[in-house]
Every structure is written in C-alpha cells, then in structure tokens.
C-alpha cells in the first residue's frame, strides 16, 4: 500500500497571512503607489491564487499582464529578502502531525502556489523540510493548482504506473480543494487557514 499526503503551505503548514499582507503593502510602496484597501488585499490572499494574479486583481490589469509579473518579481525580492520569513509562524501541532504521518508510512509532498525559494527557506527555518520527498511551487511557465499538472508531472512519477493507493490533499483554500478533486484525492480542508469559508464549504470537503 502506498499512501500519499499532499500538503499546502500558506495557511496550512504556516501562518503567513501577516507576511503576505505586509509584503504586498511594501511592494506598492516600492512603486510609489498607495496600496489597495485592506478588504481587497484580504480577499485576494484568501482566494489561493498566485502572486502575479493577486497583483492583476488589485491593480485591475488584464490577465497575463507584464506589469503584474514585474510587481510579482518585486514582491518576491522583498519577501525572500527576509520580510516574509520574519512574519511567518509555524502552526501549532504541525511538527507532531508531520512526524505522525511519516511514522505511519505516508509519503509527504508540499504542493503550493508560492515560489520555491520562499518555501524552502521557511521549511528549513522551521526544520520540517526533512518530512517531504519533494517541494513543488510556483515556477514561471508551469501550470499551478488547481490544474492537475503539478501532480501529474512532479508527484505521480514517484509512484509508478499504478499510482498511490491512498491519497489526500490538505489545504485551506478552494484552490486546494479543487486540486484534490482534479487529481482524484480526498479533499481535507484546513479551516483554520485563509480560505473563504463559504467557497470551501460549497466544495464539500471530505474532512475539516
């Protein structure tokens, strides 16, 4: 029996809400712009979309805008420069939960829409990277959750043609729950995270 646990990062393993909000505001300041309202920023964070799409939404830009990519690059520079990690906290019970999963034979993977350097920085800082076989994040030109491609291209090959016999996705947003449905895994909702409760409940998660 092969058991697969796919775990989100923001709002699931770590509380990064304050970090993301702070760096978004700092990014606006770096371009000499007044930030969007707190309500608009909170709504964008809670949607589970990647940071370029967050700025597309906040700035009212067309999809695929080069300007949004420029803002996303600046955001990552600020976040990965220490501003993000300084405001990131590991949720209580995460270390114990990961140890229990590993000890019970679950093979764990991080699949996130966050950039990989930020993921690795935080996982190493909190000493939990060792629990994961692979860390999969946002990379330019590659599909992201809820598209099943991150699973098909990066996770499934670890399990051979038969695939895992049991699998679940644990995440806090509708993006994670849709990703679970798209790959045929159980959808476990981390309701303590950032996701919009109404949207997540409407997707009928298998557990919460």
Q: What is the 3-state secondary structure (H, E, C) of 111-151?
A: EEEEEHHHHHHHHHHCCCHHHEEEEEEECCCCCCCCCCHHH
Domain at 123, CATH number:
3.40.50.1000
104 & 153 share domain? yes
7 & 44 share domain? no
101 & 191 share domain? yes
38 & 102 share domain? no
In this predicted structure, the answer to whether residue 175 has a pLDDT above a threshold of 90 is yes
In this predicted structure, the answer to whether residue 46 has a pLDDT above a threshold of 90 is no
The residue from 69, 87, 105 where one domain ends is: 87
158 & 57 share domain? no
- Distant-in-sequence, close-in-space partners of 184: CB < 8 Å, separation ≥ 6: 167
Instruction: Assess if residue 101 is contained within a domain.
Output: yes
The CB density around residue 6, as the number of other CB atoms within 10 Å, is: 27
Instruction: Assess if residue 81 is contained within a domain.
Output: yes
104 & 8 share domain? yes
Furthest C-alpha separation in the chain: 55
Name 171's bridge partners. 189
Instruction: Assess if residue 208 is contained within a domain.
Output: no
Residues 8-28 have a mean pLDDT of 97
103 & 163 share domain? yes
Q: For residue 85, what are its two tokens?
A: 């990690």
150 & 58 share domain? no
DSSP state of 61: P
Alpha carbons within 13 A on the beta-carbon side of 109: 21
95 & 147 share domain? yes
The residue from 43, 61, 87 where one domain ends is: 87
Band (pLDDT 50/70/90 cuts) for residue 27 is: very high
How far apart, in whole angstroms, are the C-alpha atoms of residue 107 and residue 103? 10
pTM, entire model: 0.93
Q: For residue 120, what are its two tokens?
A: 């690795």
Instruction: Assess if residue 207 is contained within a domain.
Output: no
98 & 25 share domain? no
Residue with tokens 């092969």: 2
- Distant-in-sequence, close-in-space partners of 207: CB < 8 Å, separation ≥ 6: 186, 188, 189
The residue from 87, 120, 148 where one domain ends is: 87
The C-alpha torsion from 65 through 70 and 72 to 78, rounded to 10°, is -170
48 vs 83 pLDDT, higher one: 83
In this predicted structure, the answer to whether residue 1 has a pLDDT above a threshold of 80 is no
Q: Are 20 and 168 in contact (CB under 8 A)?
A: no
151-165 pLDDT, tens per residue? Answer: 999 999 999 877 899
73-114 pLDDT, tens per residue? Answer: 999 999 999 999 999 999 999 999 999 999 999 999 999 999
Q: Are 171 and 182 in contact (CB under 8 A)?
A: no
Domain span at residue 29 reads 17-87
169 & 193 share domain? yes
Count of domains forming the chain? 2
Percent of residues, the chain, with pLDDT higher than 70: 100
Instruction: Assess if residue 27 is contained within a domain.
Output: yes
Phi, psi of 14 (to 5 degrees): -130, 150
């Amino acid at each position: 029996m092969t058991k697969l646990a796919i775990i989100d990062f923001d709002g699931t393993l770590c509380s990064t809400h304050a970090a993301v909000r702070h760096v978004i505001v700092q990014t606006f300041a770096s371009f000499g712009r007044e930030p969007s309202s707190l309500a608009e920023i909170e709504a964008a964070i809670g949607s589970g979309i990647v940071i370029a799409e967050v700025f597309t939404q906040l700035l009212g830009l067309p999809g695929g805008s080069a300007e949004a990519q420029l803002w996303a690059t600046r955001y990552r520079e600020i976040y990965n420069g220490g501003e993000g990690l300084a405001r990131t906290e590991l949720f209580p019970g995460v270390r114990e939960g990961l140890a229990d999963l590993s000890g019970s034979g679950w093979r764990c993977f991080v699949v996130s829409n966050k950039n990989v350097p930020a993921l690795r920085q935080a996982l190493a800082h909190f000493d939990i990277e060792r629990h994961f076989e692979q860390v999969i994040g946002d990379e330019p030109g590659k599909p992201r959750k809820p598209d099943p491609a991150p699973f098909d291209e990066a996770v499934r090959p670890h399990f051979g043609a038969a695939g895992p016999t049991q699998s679940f996705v644990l995440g806090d947003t509708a993006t994670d729950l849709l990703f679970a449905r798209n790959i045929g895994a159980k959808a476990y909702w981390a309701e303590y995270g950032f996701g919009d409760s109404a949207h997540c409940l409407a997707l009928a998660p298998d557990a919460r």
